[in-house]
A and B are shown apart, each in its own frame.
Chain A
């Protein structure tokens, strides 16, 4: 094979590989990207059980209960329009408390409870999950605004 042809072949193979990577990535992103939902979105659009999402909202005051094992908690997440029950097993972040914002990673089970595998709360004044940044909760009207 002449050097010139070989270079052309290499360029074509490289192009095919990059395009292949793009297609592969696109197909995987369709299944695996976790979308962000507020409870109202969950009610309106519905989320199939088992699909990984991020659920964001406020922890309803008085809803936080700890199970007898000491490590499982149940709580309700609201955006003022809808409320979703959630559960989490593990060590919750320190700033996770009733009446404050939370972003939970996980999936719904068949009973419609959100099983969180990870809780992201505001870490301190300077570091917080991006989704929380745009959230504003109005104490009097109980309305949660989520900035897109």
Chain B
């Protein structure tokens, strides 16, 4: 009965979306803004129904109801409960239901909490959100029904890909999706503003918190995914330029650009058309990513099933929504008045530079990701990997970082170059000193990209703190703090990336129990190897006593064998120190009772993810800062009236 209830909830939600779209249409056509009051409960009910459908699917997974096809295909009754729970979205249909649920709940939230938006724009926005949702409801109900039954039910189920059986699955996909799909709100806002000719500063102030919220979650989701891939795959890398990773990076790049341009629009009333364009592009990138991942034209852990019908369905949705939004943009943008102009030397200019560089990186990543698909159509199989992305996206990203250092030290509207130069003296000196120091210590061992990366990271790190210089820290507005911390996070993350690629020491050996291995100042004593059993796996575990002069710590890398489906995975052992991580992977047994071991010492690698968390934290502070100011203004005006 649960499965049927879920299906009914989905159909009801889809009908409500249709009603919502109709109400928006009728309201806008007839100029009846009071219909907004009727749309609100419809949007909220839709959000509740999609959340309910998703909760019901989780229940089915938790109860291992094998009469539901999706559960039978992707779960197993002998799995720990956490993976039954998280396994709900570890498959195509479940993840699409999560997508639809996030979209429905986001629409409900816009109906419930948005108060600053003009009423007709609000209606149009909710209408647009309903229109996008409808396409994905159709996709779910007609080609990816998560609640389909199977008769007769199999006794056990096929199990979940062991690579996904990790606590990371409980956190990374939902966070990523909240951000990824949350961008649909920005898209709907843009469509709403175009339809009702409301592109101005007030509109931007209403849209900003939604963009910030989605961006924060997207940042956290990508950071979590990167760390998960780092420890789970056992390859010691933290970013593989896998098309699916790019699929999450592209919306992030667009959303980061949007976040900055929406600020220009909100505070200076500039970059109107550009901001609208970015809002359209950001969610379009989310949809392109979904198409790449879900259509089966790529093979990766993220691509669950190869099904051309689904691919064409998503492609059609893409064409309709992106094409429709771009057509609307082309049709209406002429009627959007030019925003306020600005001088060449001003913060606005630097934000334009930020936007352009982010767009260029986005273009490069997009081309690199799609190129293999295009050549394959002509019969050549090609893969595009790190060498391509590092070579061209790397230097542009460093240039972007420098612009990021200069921007906050430049005044809005107009500034003078000598004054900006004076403010940059200390960070530039810091960067130059760092360059000399790094060259003295590591010349010949460090490549050009990591060298400049580390230098820029240090200079930018100092510059990012400069806006706090000579300010009363407690009286500094929260959103200034947010900007400072997010920019510092970028510098910290960049420093981690540069250190990892410049100073990582790798050692590959075959060793017997009892032997000691020395690398990068560490001694690893291979104590013993023993078998081990878990809920749904058996493993071989190596005990390694490691030290670098102090007390020894145990590290226990495993090689795990799962029975359903039959797969072997390696569970790396990680030892985190203040100055880096020791990473040990156990391989197979070779002649002479020796075991393969792959060991990395990665100095300061943890800064990569620490920086990512700082960036998200900065976003959260900015969000609270802006919102709190809004509340304060409202509260004061209410008191003044009283």
Contact = CB atoms under 8 A, between A and B. Distances in A.
A5 B569 CA distance: 60
Interface in B384-416: 384-385, 387-388, 391-392
Contact of A66 (B274, B371, B566, B591): B591
B6 to A, nearest CB: 25
Contacts of B568: 94
Interface of B: 161, 234, 271, 273-274, 298-301, 338-342, 352, 356-357, 359-361, 363-364, 367-368, 371-372, 375, 379-385, 387-388, 391-392, 508-510, 565-568, 570, 585, 587-588, 590-592, 594, 596, 598
Nearest to B388: A32
B341 A17 contact: no
Interface string A6-33: 1100100110011011101110110011
A18 B359 contact: yes
A126 B382 contact: no
Contact of B565 (A4, A18, A54, A126): A126
A107 to B, nearest CB: 11
A36 B338 contact: no
A104 B383 CA distance: 12
A123 B509 CA distance: 24
B360 A148 contact: no
A35 B388 contact: no
Interface residues of A, number: 47
A136 interface: no
Contacts of A36: 380-383
B360 A17 contact: yes
Given A89-B508, A91-B585, A127-B299, A54 B596 contact: no
A86 interface: no
The 8 closest A-B pairs by CB, nearest first: A70-B510, A36-B381, A91-B587, A3-B338, A21-B363, A32-B388, A21-B360, A25-B367
Contact of A6 (B338, B363, B570): B338
Given A25-B392, A28-B388, A91-B587, A13 B383 contact: no
Contact of A3 (B339, B359, B379): B339
Contacts of A94: 567-568, 588
Interface string A60-77: 000000100111000000
7 contacts: A2-B341, A6-B341, A21-B360, A70-B591, A91-B588, A128-B299, A130-B381
Given A14-B274, A125-B565, A34 B385 contact: yes
Contacts of A98: none
A133 B299 contact: yes
Interface of A: 1-4, 6-7, 10, 13-14, 17-18, 20-22, 24-26, 28-29, 32-36, 52, 54, 66, 69-71, 89-92, 94, 105, 123-131, 133, 148
Contacts of A130: 298-299, 381
A10 B348 CA distance: 12
Given A28-B388, A91-B596, A127-B161, A33 B360 contact: no
B380 A124 contact: no
Nearest to B562: A124
Contacts of B363: 18, 21-22, 25
Given A14-B274, A22-B363, A129 B381 contact: no
Contact of B387 (A6, A25, A32, A133): A32
B264 to A, nearest CB: 11
Contacts of A90: 508, 598
B371 A29 contact: yes
A2 B387 CA distance: 44
Contacts of B385: 32, 34, 52, 105
Contacts of A91: 234, 508, 570, 585, 587-588, 596, 598
Given A14-B274, A22-B367, 14 more contacts: A1-B341, A10-B274, A32-B384, A33-B375, A66-B590, A71-B587, A71-B596, A91-B598, A124-B161, A124-B565, A124-B566, A127-B161, A127-B301, A130-B381
Nearest to B274: A10
A17 B161 CA distance: 42
A14 B356 contact: yes
B381 A148 contact: yes
Nearest to A130: B299
A69 B510 contact: yes
A3 B340 contact: yes
B151 to A, nearest CB: 23
Given A52-B387, A91-B598, A126-B161, A70 B382 contact: no
Given A70-B510, A91-B585, A35 B364 contact: no
B388 A29 contact: yes
A33 B384 contact: yes
Contacts of A35: 380-382
A6 B343 CA distance: 10
A2 B337 CA distance: 13
A13 B356 contact: yes
Contacts of B372: 33
